[in-house]
Amino acid sequence: MIPYGLQWIDEEDKEEVMKVLSSDWLTTGPKVGEFENALCRYVECKHSVTVNSGTSALDIAVGALDLPEGSEVITTPFTFAATSNALLYNRLKPVFADIQKDTRNIDPEDIRRKITPKTRAISYVDYAGHPCDIKEIKEIAEEYNLYLIEDACHALGASYYGKKIGSFADLTVFSFHPVKPITTGEGGAVVTNNSELAERARLLHSHGIDKSATERYGPDASWAYDMKMLGRNYRMTDIQAALGISQLKKLDMFIKRRREIAELYNKLLKDCEFVEIPVTKEGIKHGWHIYTILLKDVNRDKFFTCMRKNGIGVNVHYIPTYHFSYYRKHFDFDENDYPVTEDVFKRIITLPIYPKMSDEDVELVVKTLLSETFI
């Protein structure tokens, strides 16, 4: 089976992890701070708080805004459920805006239509690693005095008009799951240029306590600390951070290879009558976390089943969040309000893409896709 995504772990990664396993620190220690500093340098931002998952990063990013209970936050329904779940964790109301067909990103025009007096923030997702229309979204946020959270879990290493994703929004969130641009096993981070938001996020990720374990370690350290907020234990370990530091050094190479694979797919599929290939807008350096196509006049579910039976690990990204039972039970979202999302969802397929994938693998995927079985 050719999977839709796969990590790339080399000997250097393993050696760095082994060094930590032989050290005094296994959980949150000096390697975490080193990784946070490396992230800041890479994305050119001032503050980074690493955590144990992208979901945890979303939770503390939302929590750091300290919005009144019941406030509305506009987001996309076409993403993993964690994006809007993080709003629910913090007793906020998700308001979904429709997406654009070409990039699958949130539609700025529909964001504007969904604003009410209760709207306090916009949480936008860089779908598949393609940055959103950030300029337009920022203009809306400034006009209505709204916070911005950029869910860039797909987009570490991507760029918007020459500037790396990581410092456009008030808070930006990354994920280090194995299928993401780099991996720490599980893991995530919140980055920001706002020192107050960074301090709140740091408190929230470690029980709300104002002193880290390293600050309470050593002959001159004090035992005293204070709990200032109701936080959680979302801390990253030094084991994860060591892997992250090593992976980050290879990120640009990973992105380069992902782009090569996407370009090969585009070349091989450009004349296929039943496939719409993805686009990259002007000014964008795409991260290509996933490569998605839209099927035309082909039964998506039959296509999915046949590809899987032929050893091609296609997937579907994503089931719109309002389709899930929990959201149907607790909210009254109407799928007719999201015509583009519904059209895309019924036709979308994710093809395999990951840095270790060979050109021969890509050609096999396309050869299988072009089989008459699906037509």
Mean pLDDT of 135-155: 98
Position 62 pLDDT exceeds 90: yes
CB 191, CB 40: distance < 8 Å: yes
The mean pLDDT value of the chain amounts to: 96
Mean pLDDT of 14-18: 98
CATH topology of domain 11-248: Aspartate Aminotransferase; domain 2 (3.40.640)
| Tokens 């991507």, residue located | 158
Q: In DSSP terms, which residues pair with 125 in a beta bridge?
A: 151
| 280-297 per-position pLDDT tens digit | 999 999 999 999 999 999
Task: Check residue 374 and give its pLDDT.
Answer: 64
**pLDDT band at 221, cuts 50/70/90?**
confident
Residue 228 to residues 62, 68, 217, Cα–Cα distance (Å): 17, 18, 20
Position 220 pLDDT exceeds 80: no
Q: In DSSP terms, which residues pair with 342 in a beta bridge?
A: none
Cα 314 to chain center, whole Å? 19
Q: Where in the chain is the domain with CATH 3.40.640.10?
A: 11-248
Which among 83, 2, 31, 40 is positioned nearest to 352, based on CA atoms? 2
Nearest-angstrom CA–CA distance, 34 and 232: 22
pTM for the model? 0.96
| 250-276 per-position pLDDT tens digit | 999 999 999 999 999 999 999 999 999
CB 234, CB 205: distance < 8 Å: yes
Residues in CB range of 241: below 8 A, 6 or more apart: 20, 31, 32, 34, 35, 50, 184
| 26-39 per-position pLDDT tens digit | 988 999 999 999 99
Q: Does domain 251-374 have CATH number 3.90.1150.10?
A: yes
Task: Check residue 59 and give its pLDDT.
Answer: 98
| 77-105 per-position pLDDT tens digit | 999 999 999 999 999 999 999 999 999 99
Task: 196-202: list long-range contacts, CB under 8 Å, 24+ apart.
Answer: 197/47, 197/64, 197/65, 197/170, 197/171, 198/46, 198/47, 198/49, 198/64, 200/60, 200/63, 200/64, 200/66, 200/229, 201/49, 201/60, 201/61, 201/63, 201/64, 201/171, 202/49
Task: Check residue 213 and give its pLDDT.
Answer: 73
| 105-117 per-position pLDDT tens digit | 999 999 999 999 9
Mean pLDDT of 136-145: 98
Q: Where in the chain is the domain with CATH 3.90.1150.10?
A: 251-374
| Tokens 């002959």, residue located | 219
